Amino acid sequence: MKRKIKKNDLIWGIGLLLIIFILTNPYTHKLFLTATKIHPYITGFFKVGILATMGELLALRIVKGDYEKPIGMGYRFTIWGIIGMAFALVFALFAGGIEAVMKQGLLPLGKEGTLGSKILLAFFTSAFMNLIFAPTFMAFHRITDTYIDLGKGKFKSILNVRLTDVVKEIDWYGYINFVVCKTIPVFWIPAHTVTFLLPSEYRVLTAALLSIVLGAILASSKAKASLKATEITA
């Protein structure tokens, strides 16, 4: 079943093109790099907040056939932004830490200055970051999303949601089995290996872009599974 391009698809696409323009236009590109270096937390907040929210909207478009405003969209944007701020710190923390332990001989270093050495540094940084930090951040995101969903996106209702209800609502088996055991080794470690080969000022942005890609892949898979189920029962 083909899905027609709608007005909102064009709006979403224009938004993505605007981001690409900012990154490629010489003047705005320079401003972007300067802002990232001077205000890493602020830029991290907005880079991930905007792009990850766009990813959520795209996922809803793929699954439901149209864009829908997620429950508590403002809260979700804020949570993504906070995660973006964490990325700004964590990316630098793991990149610097792994480089230090490689120089101490605790991990294979390769010949310094060579492409092989750079790839090893990027791979080990990605692997340790995704094995140590990623499960925590992904669990945190599931918990906050569940709070928002159970509270119907309303502040007072969210405050009244109990942690026990949140924990019971989350599919922890699916989280461990699919998110941790499959997406981390198959998608995130290879993808972030490429990310850590890039200059540091692009890494948080690239991570946010990767979230859009993964969200689209997962949503497409979910949509296909739903369609097959419908065909079988028809």
Burial class (CB in 10 A: 0-12, 13-18, 19+), 4: exposed
Distance CA 111, CA 66 (A): 51
Q: What is the pLDDT along the chain (234 residues), one digit of tens a residue?
A: 445 567 888 889 999 899 889 988 999 999 999 999 999 999 999 999 999 888 888 888 888 888 888 899 999 999 999 999 999 999 999 999 999 999 999 999 888 888 999 999 999 999 999 999 999 999 999 999 999 999 999 999 999 999 999 999 999 998 999 889 999 999 999 999 999 999 988 898 898 888 788 777 766 655 555 555 545 444
What is the model's pLDDT at position 5?
Answer: 61
By the 8 A CB rule, do 208 and 84 touch? Answer: yes
Integer Cα distance of 30 and 22 in angstroms: 9
Residue reference for tokens 């007072």? 156
Residue 1 has what pLDDT? 44
pTM exceeds cut of 0.75: yes
How far apart CA 43 and CA 33 sit, in angstroms, is 10
3-class SS of residue 55: helix
